[in-house]
Structure 1
Amino acid sequence: MLEAMSAKRTHVGGPGSGHVVKLANNYLCAAHLLTTAEAVAMAAKAGVDPAACLAGLNSGSGRSAVSEVNFPEWVLSERFDSGFTTGLMRKDLRLARDAAEQLGLPLPLLQAVVEAWHANPEQPTDSDDFNHITTPILARGSQTEGNQ
């Protein structure tokens, strides 16, 4: 018996379509983790509480599943137990980049996201929860002037 990976099931097309949409979804999630962490770090550096920043983002047009779910559930709580590893996200990002290249589609933002996720294989490690990609970014936002 197969267990669903999501509560929703959506038909997206013929054979292979689901795989491509999964890669596209994980690309967006990976990008949202980076951009949300940078936005929260910027606000924190300016003295805004991260939870308050997220409340503001989530009431505006910048919200995403990452800001609404991942940050409260796994990042700000520091639980980091979502069940999806950094290694799996890195693999999916490489597959998305390879798919775009095979389609002859230059996607420089995708390439930048792949590079950001692979920049430091030790932080986070492949076995860490994928939400840990936010940790070094958020740490920069919490540094005081004397620690920079």
Structure 2
Amino acid sequence: MSENIRLGFIGLGNMGFPMSENLVKSEYTVYGFDINPTAISKFKELGGQVCQSIKEVVQQVDVLFLSLPSPAIVEKTFYEEGIIKYSPEGLMIIDTSTVNPELNRTIFNVCQENNLKYLGAPVSGGVIGAVNATLTFMVGGPKEYFDEVLPLLDVLGKNLFHVGESPDSGTVIKLINNLMIGFYTQAVGEALTLGENMGLDHERMFEILSVSYGQSRIYERNYKEYIAENNYEPGFTTNLLLKDLKIAKQMAEECEVKLPIGEQLVDWYTKIANEGYGDNDMSAAYLMTKDLAKKAIEIK
């Protein structure tokens, strides 16, 4: 794919901004839009072309990326705000947002009717992965579309998977991935809380468990980057994890699969969010678990 192509990016938040930055650094012309003025200012400073509306973005570009926080916002962006209405025929759309599989399928069909190309391409790897261009892309949609945009994805990530021809196939595995993240994040919170109440040191626990079967990338991430630093500024918020867990639960219900623990996770992370940790990093599940243990001890 030629470096002369013009790229668009809608959604310049925690994930979208570093992805757009890597495209600009690779000397692509990138047109961007976000409702947050601070994000727009940062995008302009790095050399991006600022647009005042979604309509303006889509009319300037050959390939459009999206990185948006919820299915409702994605749906609104395609319909009410005009991606479908204003996009020129042949526009390639790469949606990195995590949505429900049905929405992927619906948008794909509408895009086909309007001679637009669409890939559901959620990512994993967090903000660090976006900054370092080491993201995992899980792409659903026609293989020929995937092959066409592979040079662009290669700028943004290092693990690039075409999951299947169905536009929702990447989303399905992304939701499974985030279901597992929900398990692991709570496991880390419970393990650390139990260990400290039994007199163990967090660092010593990490040293030992990191070379044992209890090791996981989520343990390393949550502990080293957040819990050990007592810093819960979000890389991936509790609210976003909860959103994905709810969609995963809905997906399981639609195919009549029982998730004995997964269903409980939705209730648990809802409680965490309601206790004020919704906008914190998901690793704040440890704080909630620690608080519960402390209260139980005080009652005794």
Matched residue, 2:186 = 34
Alignment of 1:2-17 (within 5 A): 3=19, 5=123, 6=125, 7=134, 8=136, 9-11=159-161, 12-14=163-165, 15-17=167-169
Q: 1:130 aligns with which of 282, 289, 294?
A: 282
Is 1:74 aligned to residue 74 of structure 2?
Answer: no
Aligned to 1:89: 241
In the comparison of the two structures, how many residue pairs are matched? 148
Q: Name which of structure 1's ranges 56-65 and 82-91 shifts more when overlaid on structure 2.
A: 82-91
The structural deviation recorded for 1:20 is 1.1
SS of 1:122 mapped into structure 2: helix
Residues 120 and 80 (structure 1 numbering): CA distance in 2 closer, same or farther, change over 3 Å? Answer: closer
Offset from partner CA, 1:23-74 (integer Å, 9 cap, x none):
1111111111111111111111110011211221111001111112221111
* 1:142 to partner: Cα distance: 6.7
Instruction: Name structure 1 gaps, 5 residues minimum.
Output: none
Q: Give the share of equivalent positions with the same residue, in percent.
A: 24
- Report which of the two has the higher share of helix: 1
Instruction: Identify the structure with the greater strand proportion.
Output: 2
Task: Give 1:59's aligned residue.
Answer: 211
Alignment gaps of 5+ in structure 2? 1-6, 10-18, 20-95, 97-122, 126-133, 137-158
Paired residue type of 1:111:
E
Which of structures 1 and 2 has the larger relative contact order (alpha carbons within 8 angstroms, sep 6+)?
1
Aligned letter for 1:130? M
Aligned-partner residue type, residue 107 of structure 1: L
**Deviation >6 Å, runs of 4+:** none
In 2, the alpha carbon distance for the partners of 1:63 and 1:101 equals 31
- 127 and 69 in structure 1: CA distance in 2 versus 1, 3 angstrom threshold: closer
Is the partner of 1:10 in helix, strand or coil?
strand
Distance 1:85 1:69 in 2: 14
Asked whether the 8 Å contact 2:238–2:278 carries over to 1, the reply is: yes
Aligned match of 2:202 = 50
| TM-score in terms of structure 1 length | 0.86
Per the alignment, do residues 73 and 106 of structure 1 end up closer, same or farther by CA in structure 2, a change over 3 Å counting? same
Instruction: Provide the rounded CA distance (Å) in 1 between the counterparts of 2:265 and 2:171.
Output: 19
Instruction: Output the amino acid matched with 1:109.
Output: I
Superposed displacement of residue 18, structure 1: 1.0
- How large is the RMSD of aligned CA atoms in angstroms? 2.4
Bigger Cα displacement from structure 2, 119-128 vs 91-100: 119-128
